[in-house]
Amino acid sequence: MTDGKARLFVAFAAAALAPGLAVGVFLDVVLNILFGASFHTPFAATPEGGLMLLLGPFMGMLYGCVYSVPLLLILGLPAHLALRRLHLATGWAYMLAGALIALVGASIVPGFLVFASPLASPHGLVSALPGALSGGLFWLIARPDRLIYTSQP
């Protein structure tokens, strides 16, 4: 496997897992703040809190595998190829594409379709942030603006 293909594979894997992991860690922090036993005894110090600190990121990564991988294969790969072909391989373009793909995902995932439009749903707007993170992370790892792909076998 050439260096460019290996970077592309690692970038897709990281982009699939990062949004779920980020949401899991964020929710753990929010739960620790909201449901902390007291200021001096944080929620993470309790047995339930310690379990939640482990389960949150794990469940987030599991969510990322279940929902992000199909979205990346169905929408992310064509978006990557289109952005490269149109010479728009910038970090901002990939972050915007990631946010739009996440909005599409939020509109079709069961339980997230609250309103007719994902933009009207709080779930849709919240999903755009991890999607932008995913697109930016993909761009940082793959660096499609620097890679030159050849047609050699």
One-letter amino acid for residue 137 of the chain? L
Residue-level pLDDT at 40: 46
Q: How far is CA 104 from CA 7, 59, 100, in A?
A: 26, 21, 6
**pLDDT tens sequence across 29-68:** 776 666 654 444 455 555 555 565 667 677 777 777 788 8
d(CA 128, CA 149): 30
Residue 92 has pLDDT above 90, yes or no: yes
Instruction: Say how far residue 148 (Cα) sits from the centre of its chain.
Output: 26
Buried b (16+ CB within 10 A) or exposed e, 95-121: bbbbbbbbbbbbbebeebeeeeebeeb
Phi, psi of 2 (to 5 degrees): -75, 165
Contact partners, residue 76, CB within 8 Å, separation at least 6: 12, 15, 97, 98, 101, 138
pTM: 0.73
